[in-house]
Amino acid sequence: MVIYPHNHSIILTNQDFIDYGGQTGSFSNAQLQSSYWLAEMQVSAYLGTLLLPTNVTGTYPFMSKTRLTTDYGYVSQIYSVSILTRTQANTCELTPNDGCGYIYEDTFGYIDFKRLSSVCSACNWNWWMGSPYPTYVSSDRPYQIQVAYQAGLPTGTANQPGILEALTILAQIDLNEKVPGLVGMNESPGDAPLTRFRSIDYAEGRKINMFIRTNLGQSSRAMRAKMLLDMTVRRARKFLNA
């Protein structure tokens, strides 16, 4: 399970929100901060990484592979690698062994790993050339890989106009669903996408294919937030089934 590691807003401030068109109305500071936090969670999930460099950990199944994909992209440092093996004893405990890792692709978070030979001098290391651990060395076969690493957009990147405006849009959408302090209206309850609109003698229609389903939402405002993010930062989309 991947749990968002920050328990408060780390980028968007009241001043940034106002400067980029946000309306605070009579919302309490707690309501504003909650919406900022939710907006940052949405953007992090969409981009596939955190908005600031953050120390995180992850545990991944071995599955006879030597390259893994971290939970968050834009990996800048690896602090430790621990390779867990099934013990020979009649227990269900896993034995940790020291390992090391290399950042193969930082944006997507691809890491190559291996166990240090000092803890397994008799192991068959042909697996590192692409083959799985030999079946006859069952006690040495990795079961899980634990990695402590730093991931997130480089410092200052999340303060670029495209990201701050996208955060403001998403925070405003969330605020518009709250009362008291209502300062605006979303296109529909819950900011659901509208393909047709009519009011007295005015009507408009939109192409259905303009609405792309993402965790940012599908309304026109959410699509603008998506456009701003896409032009600012390359998403850490995973292509490797590692």
* Closest-CA residue to 219 (of 181, 183, 176): 176
Residue 123 is predicted with a pLDDT of 42
Top mean pLDDT of 61-70, 103-112, 191-200, 232-241 is at 103-112
- Structure-block tokens of residue 179: 């009362």
Q: Convert the pLDDT of each residue in 95-108 to its tens digit.
A: 888 888 999 999 99
Q: What is the rounded CA–CA span in Å between residue 141 and residue 64?
A: 9
Q: The whole model's pTM is what?
A: 0.81
A 10 A CB-CB count for 161 gives 11
- Structure-block tokens of residue 16: 């940034």
Domain boundaries, given as residue ranges, for the chain = 14-51+156-211+218-232, 54-151
Dihedral of the alpha carbons of 111, 114, 119, 121, in degrees to the nearest 10? -170
What band does 115 get if pLDDT is binned at 50, 70 and 90? confident
Q: Convert the pLDDT of each residue in 165-178 to its tens digit.
A: 999 999 999 998 88
DSSP annotation of 45:
H
Residue 198: is its pLDDT beyond 60?
no
- Structure-block tokens of residue 92: 């269900």
Q: What percent of the chain has pLDDT over 70?
A: 73
- Structure-block tokens of residue 201: 């003698």
Top mean pLDDT of 149-158, 195-204, 230-239 is at 149-158
Q: What is the rounded CA–CA span in Å between residue 171 and residue 50?
A: 17
Cα torsion angle, 214, 219, 225, 228, sign: positive
Name the β-bridge partners of 69: 110
Residue with tokens 């040495």: 140
Cα angle vertex 215, ends 210, 220, to 5°? 35
A 10 A CB-CB count for 240 gives 13
Instruction: Judge contact between 167 and 39, C-beta under 8 A.
Output: yes
Q: What is the rounded CA–CA span in Å between residue 197 and residue 195?
A: 7
DSSP, residue by residue, 189-204: GGG---SEEEETTEEE
